[in-house]
Amino acid sequence: MNARHSAEPMIEAGGLQKRYGDTFAVKGVDFAIYPGEIVGFLGPNGAGKTTTIKMLIGLLRPSSGTARIGGFDIQRQPLQAKALLGYVPDQPYLPEKLTAREYIQFIAGLYQVDRRVAMQRGEELLRLFGLADRADELLGGYSHGMRQKAALTGALLHDPQALFLDEPTVGLDPRSARLIKDMLRNVADHGTSVFMSTHILEIAERMCDRVFIINQGEVIAAGTLEELRAGGDASLEDIFLKLTGGAEEAAIAEALL
């Protein structure tokens, strides 16, 4: 992407490590993500994806290394850094006693968004996600898919420059998943950096400008699909299985079938 050559990084990881006793969950991750990019973060279960994201957004203190959002160190300048980001976890924990509209006002207060601006943008997002008719119902009564869309509404309300999503389409019906994919592309086209972990390789293959593959706490491959395919593999699935040691298991499963 041209942005990789014409702008400063929006999201940076420099030597990020997380250690629990003698066990490393993340072993020194380095990368930079630029404005307007959608980057897919892939890896087997337990590879370190969620731990890395939590260090980047300030929910987890790294054992060593730095994380920066818009040039601000997330540990040393947390208010400036967190003001620039939005985050949607894989299991959104929303205040169940608030309605969606009340939740929007709560988020607006946290990020000091003007009340009228927040109401206008919030209503637009609620309509887009098909929640407007149920926006006065308590979030505690929402389905998983509705919670996911309400969480994304809150994450987008202050127009973040860096958006982090942990498995954003898990548990969604096809229409909702497509809506979120289209929304993320639109957000990136307006300059936001999107960093998204996913197990669904097809989504990464279709949506992402670059892909990072992490295994056992280390980023073992990074690049565009064309760059990753330089080894001759036809699909992202083939590349992923070869790099993460899943090719042998896939062959055994196929033989059993």
Query: For 91-102, what is each residue's pLDDT tens digit?
Result: 888 999 999 999
Given a cut of 90, is residue 206 above it in pLDDT? no
Q: What is the average pLDDT across 218-228?
A: 92
% of the chain exceeding 90 in pLDDT: 70
Q: Work out the pLDDT band at 171, boundaries 50, 70, 90.
A: confident
Q: What is the pLDDT of residues 107-116, one digit of tens each?
A: 999 999 999 9
pTM: 0.89
Q: Are 222 and 210 spatial neighbours (Cβ–Cβ below 8 Å)?
A: yes
Question: Is residue 175 predicted with pLDDT exceeding 90?
Answer: no
The C-alpha atoms of residue 53 and residue 134 are separated, in whole angstroms, by 31
Residue 89 one-letter amino acid: P
pLDDT of amino acid 246: 61
**Range with the largest mean pLDDT of 209-213, 231-235, 248-252:** 209-213
Q: Let me know if 242 is exposed, middle or buried by CB neighbors in 10 A (0-12, 13-18, 19+).
A: middle
Spatial CA neighbour of 37 closest among 163, 129, 155? 163
Average predicted confidence (pLDDT) for the chain: 90
Quote the Cα angle for 246-25-218, to 5°: 55
Chain Cα centroid distance, residue 116? 28
Contact 219, 28 (CB under 8 A): no
Question: pLDDT tens digits for 66-77?
Answer: 999 999 999 999
- The yes-or-no verdict on residue 224 having pLDDT over 60 is yes
Residue with the bigger pLDDT between 206 and 29: it is 29
The confidence score (pLDDT) of residue 6 equals 56
The 10s digit of each residue's pLDDT in 183-202 is 999 999 999 999 999 888 88
Is the pLDDT confidence value at 226 over 50?
Answer: yes
Rounded to an integer, the average pLDDT of 47-74 is 97
* Domains of the chain, CATH where assigned: 3-84+160-256 (3.40.50.300), 92-159 (no CATH)
The residue among 47, 61, 77, 78 whose CA lies nearest residue 18 is 61
Q: What is the DSSP string of the chain?
A: -THHHHS--SEEEEEEEEEETTEEEEEEEEEEE-TT-EEEEE--TTSSHHHHHHHHHTSS--SEEEEEETTEETTTSHHHHHTTEEEE-SS----TTSBHHHHHHHHHHHTT--HHHHHHHHHHHHHHTT-GGGTTSBGGG--HHHHHHHHHHHHHTT--SEEEEESTTTT--HHHHHHHHHHHHHHHHTT-EEEEE-S-HHHHHHH-SEEEEEETTEEEEEE-HHHHGGGS-SSHHHHHHHHHT-HHHHHHHHHH-
Q: What pLDDT score was predicted for residue 256?
A: 45
Statement: residue 90 has pLDDT above 50: yes
pLDDT in the model for residue 257 = 45
Kind of pairing between the strands at 38-42 and 193-197: parallel
Q: Is the pLDDT of residue 1 over 50?
A: no
d(CA 16, CA 56): 9
As a whole number, mean pLDDT of residues 43-68 equals: 96
Q: Give residues with Cβ within 8 angstroms of 145, minimum separation 6.
A: 171, 172, 173, 176
Q: What is the pLDDT of residues 117-145, one digit of tens each?
A: 999 999 999 999 999 999 999 999 999 88
Please name the residues in contact with 34: beta carbons below 8 A apart, sequence gap of 6 or more: 1, 3, 4, 7, 8, 9, 10, 193
